[in-house]
Amino acid sequence: MLFNKLATYLDKLEKTPSRLEITSILSDLFNNTNEDEIDKVTYLSLGILAPNYEGMVLNVAEKLLMRAIALANNIKDTEVLKKYKKAGDLGIVAQELNRSEGNNQTVTDVYQALWEIAKDGGEGSVDRKIEKTANLLKNLDPLSSRFVARIPIGKLRLGFSEKTIIDALANHEKKIKDGIETAYNIRPDIGYIAKLVKGKKLREAKPKLGVPVVPMLAQRLNSASEMIKKMGKVSVEPKFDGLRIFIHYRRKDNFLKIFTRNMNYLDENIFPELKKVGEFIKADEVILDTEAVGIDPIREMFLDFQKTIQRRRKHDIEKSSSDIPLQFQVFDLLLVDGKSLIHTPYLERRKELEKRIIGGSLLRIDENEMTNNPDVINNLHLKYLKKGLEGVVVKKADSHYVSGRTGWNWVKMKEVEGTRGKLSDTVDCLIMGYTSGKGKRAGFGMGQFLAGVKSNKDTFVTVTKVGTGLSDDQFKVLFKVLSGLKTKTKPKEYDVHRELAPDFWVLPEVVVELAADEITKSPKHTAGWALRFPRLVRFRDDKRPADATTLQELSELFKIQRT
């Protein structure tokens, strides 16, 4: 496919506000794409070159792109800057300056050129990236240059994600969509999945070492009797307050990759103890689902989430690993020696896990008790709460590994009244700034926003960053509002730790209502507290910044949840 043809589709998508129409345009695009190029077309339509977990980024900042556009058109950088200030979009600038009639570049040509730019590193790479980007733009027609110029800076601005791609690949057929979603959860690489759909090989999707799996999550119920009613025979296990970690290991070459529950890759040096993980595994290769829990070496007890998560800091790893040793609680096995266990019933996965793990100080299989008695669940929940854990996770005995919160396969017990309370109310926060969108959020213009509450000194202090719980439309609406409130300098009433500074500051005008699992102590957020797992409830257009939750009110909420 000529890239100009793809650019024509992208132009239609950019001009289309209707989600249904966007899906139809994408369906038509995919129907007119061959199997050899559909993965590349899919990636480029999202403004990426590979799944986010691969970390393949172009690293071309706006200033560098302006130099490339100037070089491509044989003009001065200042002319590009002048046009950019007026248009506010380097894609539009590239299109307006382009006088080429070149339209013989294929999708594969453009994709390969961008891939080479992304891979280029080391001494002199900045100048080489600029030159390669300029050469690419020279060989494109004006419309194509608009979209190609946006990709390196993550601003394709088309407003859809992998979810819309899946709808389009399914051609609105629910049964096919369900199959695609299942395959995507197992291999969250939308280009690879598109290729399987095109080749009618969707059943071939299985976990792959080095590729994260979309994690299985637990629902919430407050009745043990209801759990038994919905799930039948269950395994009752402790719920740890740690960091969800997926361990990918292969013995023959000592291959080790670590992913978070959000499928972010973590450098193995963050958890140096895992370099010896092979000593605790009786298999050639595995994918383990675990919870990393910090241990207090003096009191020999588990640490809370805030202490455990400090181990993710990339500096002073040796000191933090000795101060906060980790134990990895292993609770599931997704792949062993090339065999997928995704569709294997839980009890069988558990038995296989027990054969493969050598328990000890590094890896430890969660203890469990099988039951269909609600009283057993309640008693174990109270037992684990008294130990300082988060109660129990209840797992259906014959359940497969189903990504997300689908069905009643895994359930967390809601807190029992009088034990350890969760956040009992929502919090009204001021939006203080936002970060640029990356990956699937590039089309939204933003990835997350920084939120705070009123301090006792008429300033606003930070309490959380929010990047989940918003629909596509909410992301787009919020970005439109915030982009109109951007300010180059931090407002003087904001008190923000330098490591939490957003890409863009905004004036103090927008108040949002947030819910969260709980409030925890924070060494970074200037409130001294942080909202754990925050999510947007609604925009509070009826509230002014002065009406935001106060630091005192937040402190009271913290006390209530602990009573």
Distance, CA of 106 to CA of 37 (rounded, Å): 10
- 135 confidence band (pLDDT: 50, 70, 90): very high
Q: Supply the mean pLDDT for the chain.
A: 87
Mean pLDDT value of segment 30-50? 95
Count of other CB atoms within 10 angstroms of residue 34: 10
Q: 9-23, 290-304, 413-427 — which one is most confidently predicted on average?
A: 9-23
Mean pLDDT for the stretch of residues 268-294: 92
Tokens of 344: 């294997």
3-state class of 227 per DSSP? helix
Q: Which of 39-48, 51-60, 76-85, 389-398 has the lowest mean pLDDT?
A: 51-60
Instruction: Tell me the percentage of the chain whose pLDDT exceeds 90.
Output: 58
Which range, of 29-38, 355-364, 413-422, 498-507, averages the lowest pLDDT? 413-422
Buried b (16+ CB within 10 A) or exposed e, 393-421: bbbbbebebbbeeeebbbbbbebeeeebb
- Per-residue pLDDT band for 462 (boundaries 50, 70, 90) equals very high
Give the least confident one: 134-138, 226-230, 267-271, 540-544.
540-544
Examine the pLDDT at 390 and tell me if it is beyond 80. yes
Angle between the 107-119 and 38-45 helix axes, to the nearest 10 degrees? 60
217-235 residue pLDDT tens: 887 677 899 999 999 999 9
Written as one string, the DSSP assignment of 293-346 is EEEETTTTEE--HHHHHGGG-SSSHHHHHHHS-EEEEEEEEEEETTEE-TTS-H
What's the pLDDT at 376?
A: 96
pLDDT of residue 414: 56
Dihedral sign for Cα 539, 540, 541, 547, please: negative
Cα–Cα distance measured from residue 470 to residue 549, given in angstroms and rounded to the nearest whole number: 21
Q: How far is CA 62 from the centre of its chain?
A: 24
* Alpha-carbon gap, residue 214 to 212, rounded angstroms: 7
Residue 517 confidence (pLDDT) above 90: no
Range name among 7-21, 289-303, 412-426 with the lowest pLDDT average: 412-426
Q: Kindly report, residue by residue over 289-346, the tens digit of the pLDDT.
A: 999 988 765 555 566 555 565 655 544 555 555 667 788 999 999 999 999 999 999 9
- Residue 46 near residue 55, CB atoms below 8 Å: no
Whether the pLDDT of residue 52 is over 70: the answer is: yes
Strands (E), 182-325: 219-221, 234-238, 243-250, 255-260, 265-266, 285-296, 301-302
- Place 370 in a pLDDT band, splitting at 50, 70 and 90: very high
Q: Which domains, and CATH codes, for the chain?
A: 3-153 (1.10.3260.10), 219-413 (3.30.470.30), 427-562 (2.40.50.140)
123-129 mean pLDDT: 92
At residue 257, the pLDDT reads: 95
Please enumerate in sequence order all residues whose Cβ is within 8 A of that of 471, keeping only pairs 6 or more positions apart, or say none.
none
412 vs 106, more confident: 106
Per the CB < 8 A criterion, the answer to whether 403 and 214 are in contact is: yes
Taking residues 187-207, what's their average pLDDT? 94
Q: How far apart are CA 555 and CA 558, in angstroms?
A: 5
For residue 563, pLDDT over 50 is answered with no
With tokens 């919430």, the residue in question is: 220
Percent of the chain with pLDDT over 70: 90
What's the mean pLDDT in 95-111? 91
Report the pLDDT value the prediction gives residue 530, as an integer from 0 to 100. Answer: 94
- The pTM score is 0.73
**Burial, 316: exposed, middle or buried (Cβ in 10 Å; 0-12, 13-18, 19+)?**
exposed
Question: What is the rounded average pLDDT of the residues 432-461?
Answer: 82
**Rounded to whole angstroms, what are the CA distances from 347 to 63, 162, 235, 332, 352?**
56, 32, 8, 10, 9
Here the tokens at position 160 are 């859809």
Nearest CA to 81 out of 73, 72, 69 is that of 69
The region that residue 404 occupies, defined by phi over 0 for left and psi between -120 and 50 for alpha, beta otherwise, is left
What pLDDT score was predicted for residue 288? 97
CA neighbor of 38 nearest in space, from 163, 166, 195: 195
What is the reported pLDDT for 419?
A: 36
**Which of 250-264, 311-325, 342-356, 479-493 is modeled with the greatest confidence?**
342-356
Q: 3-state DSSP call for residue 518? A: strand
| Region 279-285 average pLDDT | 96
Which residues are tagged catalytic?
239
pLDDT tens column, 163-193: 889 999 998 888 999 999 999 999 999 999 9
User: pLDDT-based confidence at 420, cuts 50/70/90?
Assistant: very low
